[in-house]
Amino acid sequence: MSKKLVAYFSASGNTARLAKTMAAAADAALYEIRPAVPYERKDLNWMDKKSRSTVEMQDKNCRPALKDHDAPIADAEVIFVGFPVWWYREPSIIDSFLDAYDFTGKTLVPFLTSGGSDLGEGQGRIEALAKGARVLMGKRFSARASESELMTWIAGLNLD
């Protein structure tokens, strides 16, 4: 049985809810990816061209600072990376996370929350950023996905 980690970023709590259920379903450790400066509600207003999230997402090289660099990546063989979809891709803080660690020899499994968007260009971006890792195809879930639904999906990944 491989060692597993669920690392997630959640701005509003939806992805956090899913990540906790994912960790239980995968029998994995849980780690929250946190920005050094937390996002406030006004930062997430995608209709405001000057909001923090909009400005960050317009710059594909943006790397918001992480609050810490102590994710237990070295201990994990399989890392589920969870996040909300912003502008049809992963939030820039996920790029910061992927840049901060060595994923060589690891398997990364993206999972995402969204009101309806899929990962879009994010899959290719994650594959490029997670150098040396095997990146499986990301999947979108409802924030309220059941543990049994997630267990079925995980079993189908043939990770062990």
Query: For the chain, what are the domain ranges?
Result: 4-156
**Does the structure show a pLDDT above 90 at 116?**
no
Q: What integer is the mean pLDDT of 41-50?
A: 82
Q: How confident is the model at residue 81 (pLDDT cuts 50, 70, 90)?
A: very high
Q: Buried (b) or exposed (e) across 130-150, using 16+ Cβ within 10 A?
A: beebebbebebbebebeeeeb
Fold of the CATH domain 4-156:
Rossmann fold (3.40.50)
Of residues 32 and 48, more confidently modeled: 32
Q: Would you give the end-to-end CA distance of the chain in angstroms?
A: 6
Q: 131: which residues sit within 8 A by CB, 6+ positions away?
A: 103, 104
12-31 pLDDT, tens digit per residue, is: 999 999 999 999 999 999 99
